[in-house]
Amino acid sequence: MNYLLSVIVPVYNVEPYLERCITSIVNQTYKRLEIILINDGSTDSSGAICDRKAIMDNRIRVYHIANSGSSIARNYGLERCHGDYIAFVDSDDWIDQNMFSSMISFAIKNSLEVVECNSINSKEITNVHQIDKGYRIENKDEFICRILKYKRFAVWRRVYHKRVLKDKFFIPNILHQDVYYTIDIINSLTRLGYLSQPFYIYNVENMNSVIRGKYSLTKLNSIGAPLYVIQQTDIYNSKIKTLASNYLVHFLTSHYNSLYLNNKFDPDFRHRKQIKGLINKHQQLHNFSFCGYAIKLLPFKLYGTFLLINNTRIDLQRKLYTFFKHVKSQ
C-alpha cells in the first residue's frame, strides 16, 4: 500500500461544493496521494479555494489554466501526474473516506490494472445501507455487459494503473467524453475488479454544468458517443451488441423526447428526423424498447400527443407512490 495515487480534479465554478470535495479526498484512509486540482478558468472563488487548500496540505498541487473544458483540464492533469495509480473525481461530487484504500488494496491483492466501485446520487445517500457491499473479479464479457447495461461509463468510478492510461487522453470539446475514454480503456482489458459498495457520491444538486443543465442544441453533439459504442463493440457476441444497441436507442429516445419538450430548437423536425432514422436502423425485435417503437411507428405530431399522455401517467404514478409511501410510514 505504498503506491502513489494521483487524483485528478478538474475545477470550474463549483464554489458551493468544492470544499466538501477536496476535504473528502484529503481525509482518505489511503494517505499516499498526489492531489492535482486544475482550475479551468473559474470566475467564482473556486481558484482561491484550491490555493488555500494547497497551503494546508502539501499533497495538493494547483494549476490555473484558461477555460478550455473538462477534457483539456483532465489531460493537463494526466500530463503532470506521477502516480502508480490514477483516479478522477469531479469537483462537485465527493467520496467515501475508504474508497481508495479499498480499491487499491483489491487491485494489488488480485493483480488488477483497473478496479471499479459503485456510486450513489446525493439524494439517495440515506439508502446506502440497503446496497450490497460485495466484490468480484469480472472477465471481459461480464464487465462490458454490466457497463453497457447500467451505463457505467463515468471515469470517476475507477482506479487505473498508470500502464493502462499511458498515451490515452480525453477528446477535447465533446460531450460525454467519458464514453469514448471508457470504451477505449475497457477494450484493452481482460479482467476488471468490481466493488459494489457505493464509495462515490454523485451530486445531483448542481445543475450548472452542460450535461446536467437545461436542454440545448449543444447536447445534440453528444449523439456521436453511443454511435462510437456501437462501432467499438461490433467485434463482440450478440448479447453485447444487443446491449450496445439498447444503449443507443435509449440515448436517442432521450434526445427525441427532449426536443418535443423544447420545440423551439427543432421547429422543422429536422433533428428529430435524423434521430428517428437512427432509431429505425438500430431498433430490432431482440432489443425491444416501447418508446423506441412508438418513435418508429408514430408520425411526428402524433408522437407529441403520446409523449404528453405518457409523461402525465408517469407523473401520476410517482405522486401516488409518494402518497402511499407516506401513508404507510404513518
> pLDDT digit string (tens) for 130-171?
566 789 999 999 999 999 999 999 999 999 999 999 999 999
Question: In the beta sheet, which residues pair with residue 7?
Answer: 35, 87
Distance CA 180, CA 190 (A): 18
Span 274-282, average pLDDT: 89
Q: What is the pLDDT of residue 129?
A: 57
Determine the average pLDDT of the residues in 221-234: 94
Q: Which residue has the higher pLDDT, 320 or 31?
A: 31
Helix (H) or strand (E) holding 268: none
How much is the pLDDT for 234?
A: 93
> Taking residues 76-96, what's their average pLDDT?
97
In the chain, the percentage of residues whose pLDDT exceeds 70 is 93
Instruction: Check whether 205 has a pLDDT greater than 80.
Output: yes
Residues 6+ apart with CB under 8 A from 120: 127, 128, 131, 198, 200, 201, 202
For residue range 15-65, list pLDDT tens digits in order: 999 999 999 999 999 999 999 999 999 999 999 999 999 999 999 999 999
Helix (H, G, I), strand (E, B), or coil: what is residue 313? helix
Specify the range with the lowest mean pLDDT, choosing from 34-43, 52-61, 242-251, 297-306: 297-306
| Structural domains of the chain, ranges and CATH numbers in brackets | 5-202 (3.90.550.10), 217-329 (no CATH)
C-alpha cell read off for 47: 481558484
- Average pLDDT, stretch 95-105? 97
**Mean residue pLDDT across the chain:** 91
pTM: 0.89
3-class secondary-structure state, position 35:
strand
pLDDT recorded at residue 322: 77
Give the pLDDT confidence score for residue 291 in this predicted structure. 80
What's the pLDDT score for residue 313? Answer: 84
Alpha carbon distance 257, 304 (integer Å): 8
